[in-house]
């Protein structure tokens, strides 16, 4: 967690406590929900980044030569909104896979449409058809889960198998090998 994220979490907790002491239950509940959602967002983005990094490390131990870089505080656009989060870049020769994930941090950044907590892009440089837009949703159990956004608003689960497929595409290997 970055210093800014830590400072934000502390500020939210202080504001929530202040609202409770002032009898502003509505404000305290909103701030509690905001803090809870921020924790889910962070966990979801961390899972995505760490999972891709782990799979890339496994590929390198099996003979690949992927270059891995990670950037925090990355800003990217989805529709008319700006997301702020992480950019993981995996490079295999001339092939590059960009994994972007984040959420709007300020009102001017916009919103995550469709009831999501966070959004992301899995972008293959030069292979637009292999790229996907993903969204982090809160499940009925409260656990965050990623879904791939398809045409006409359809959503499909974005799982570890999905990550492996993207890595196979980067490595120019058929799926499952």
Residue 103 lies in a domain: yes
Residue 175 lies in a domain: no
Residue 70 lies in a domain: yes
State the pLDDT at residue 174.
60
Reduced to 3 states, what is the DSSP secondary structure of residue 175? Answer: coil
Residue 101 lies in a domain: yes
Q: What is the pLDDT of residues 77-121, one digit of tens each?
A: 988 899 999 999 999 999 999 999 999 988 889 888 888 999 999
Q: What's the number of domains the chain is made of?
A: 1
Determine the structural domain holding residue 10 and report its residue range: 3-170
The answer on pLDDT for 74 being more than 70 is yes
Residue 135 lies in a domain: yes
Residue 87 lies in a domain: yes
Give the pLDDT mean for 23-52: 82
Residue 102 lies in a domain: yes
Whether this prediction's pTM lies above 0.85 is answered by no
- DSSP 8-state secondary structure symbol assigned to residue 176: T
Tell which wins on pLDDT, 61 or 11: 61
Highest mean pLDDT among 17-21, 37-41, 109-113, 165-169: 165-169
Nearest to 166 by CA among 86, 98, 119, 69: 98
Residue 105 lies in a domain: yes
């Amino acid at each position: 967690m970055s210093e800014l994220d830590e400072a934000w979490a502390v500020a939210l907790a202080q504001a929530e406590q202040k609202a409770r002491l002032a009898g502003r239950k509505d404000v305290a509940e909103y701030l509690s929900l905001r803090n809870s959602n921020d924790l889910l967002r962070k966990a979801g983005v961390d899972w995505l980044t760490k999972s891709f990094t782990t799979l890339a490390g496994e590929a390198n131990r099996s003979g690949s030569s992927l270059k891995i870089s990670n950037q925090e505080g990355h800003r990217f656009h989805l529709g008319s909104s700006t997301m702020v989060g992480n950019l993981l870049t995996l490079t295999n020769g001339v092939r590059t896979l960009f994994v972007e994930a984040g959420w709007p941090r300020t009102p001017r950044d916009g919103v995550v449409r469709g009831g999501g907590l966070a959004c992301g892009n899995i972008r293959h440089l030069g292979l637009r058809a292999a790229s996907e837009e993903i969204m982090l949703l809160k499940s009925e159990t409260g656990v965050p889960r990623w879904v791939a956004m398809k045409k006409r608003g359809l959503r499909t689960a974005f799982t570890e198998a999905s990550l492996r497929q993207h890595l196979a595409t980067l490595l120019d290997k058929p799926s499952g090998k």
